[in-house]
Amino acid sequence: ENLRPLTGEPVRLDVPSLVDRMVRARRGGYCYEQNLLLAAVLDRLGFAVTGLAARVLSGRPGRPRPSTHCLLRVDLEGRPWLVDVGFGGGGPLEPLPLADGHQEVQGGWGLRLDRVSELGGDEWLLRSFDGRAWRPLYVLTTAAMAPQDYEIFSHHLSSHPRSPFLTRLTVQRIGPGVQHVLTDTTLTTLAPDGTREEQRVPVREVGRVLHEVFGIDLRAREREAVEARVEQFAGM
């Protein structure tokens, strides 16, 4: 969810701030927040964790986008795994072996990982099955990223006027057999077989949907700020 940048609050990536936000306040976040908190947990448990970056492909075709998605590589007993809990477009529910041609089903959702060379170097394409065809999600590289890289990327996405996180409300939650997506006042429910159902949500009901569907509880002031922004988008 992008509620914090949408209402002008700073997005802090230090571990205490991430714990306060996602553990104590039971809120979501975007990839930098979710995957960096998971990376901190895995590191403290003794796992070998490397931060990676990926170019998102879903949504709009065209020339390559910048590598602004954060995800993780975890090495276990000499085997590399792709770990990503922060992709809102239908990413993995569980760790995925970083192996060429690997394909599996997680909670009813089909995923496939292939080695590619779109821009050169060590690149991997992650795709999901939408019930009819394989849909590209993102291309990742195995080059390690530093925390300061993520700070720059996150600042851009949370402050640039054309960032998708500032031009619409987006909240997504995926689990076994179902994915819910709220985009401004449209609530979409998707299934692994490709079926989808759309429902219009009145602006003043957005806070209720955030609570009932996504488990997000907002304070009265936060709810008013979010609904005011959604109302602004609806009037554009």
For residue 187, what is the domain's CATH number? Answer: 3.30.2140.10
Claim to verify: residue 8 and residue 125 sit in the same structural domain: yes
The end-to-end CA distance of the chain, in Å, is 21
- DSSP run (H or E) holding 8: none
Please report whether residue 158 resides in a domain. Answer: no
Please report whether residue 13 resides in a domain. Answer: yes
The whole-angstrom separation of Cα 112 and Cα 105 is 9
- Count of domains observed in the chain: 2
Measure the CA dihedral 227/15/68/151, to 10°: 100
Tracing tokens 């065209």 back to the chain, one arrives at: 62
pLDDT in tens, 49-80: 999 999 999 755 556 678 899 999 999 999 99
Claim to verify: residue 16 and residue 116 sit in the same structural domain: yes
Claim to verify: residue 91 and residue 208 sit in the same structural domain: no
Claim to verify: residue 22 and residue 115 sit in the same structural domain: yes
Claim to verify: residue 26 and residue 132 sit in the same structural domain: yes
Please report whether residue 156 resides in a domain. Answer: no
Mean of all residue pLDDT scores within the chain: 92
The CA angle 196-198-202, to the nearest 5 degrees, is 160
Let me know: does 49 contact 74? Beta carbons within 8 Å. yes
Please report whether residue 155 resides in a domain. Answer: no
Tracing tokens 């006042």 back to the chain, one arrives at: 185
Residue 37's pLDDT band, with cuts at 50, 70 and 90, is very high
pTM: 0.93
**Which among 88, 115, 150 is the end of a domain?**
150
Structure tokens at 109: 């959702």
Claim to verify: residue 52 and residue 123 sit in the same structural domain: yes
- Residue-wise over 36-75: b if at least 16 C-beta within 10 A, else e? bbbbeeeeeeeeebebbbbbbbbeeeeeeeebbbbbbbbe
**Which among 90, 118, 150 is the end of a domain?**
150
The whole-angstrom separation of Cα 174 and Cα 189 is 10
Among 40-44, 50-54, 158-162, which stretch is predicted with the lowest mean pLDDT? 158-162
What Cα–Cα distance (Å) separates residue 216 from each residue in 47, 68, 109, 119, 198?
30, 25, 24, 39, 20
**Domain extent at residue 184:** 163-234
**Catalytic residue numbers?**
31, 69, 84
Please report whether residue 93 resides in a domain. Answer: yes
**Across residues 41-45, what is the average pLDDT?**
97
What Cα–Cα distance (Å) separates residue 227 from each residue in 168, 185, 186, 189, 208?
11, 10, 13, 21, 11
Please report whether residue 157 resides in a domain. Answer: no
Please report whether residue 219 resides in a domain. Answer: yes
Residue 88's pLDDT band, with cuts at 50, 70 and 90, is confident
Residue 118 has pLDDT above 80, yes or no: no
Backbone angles phi, psi at 192, to 5 degrees: -60, -25
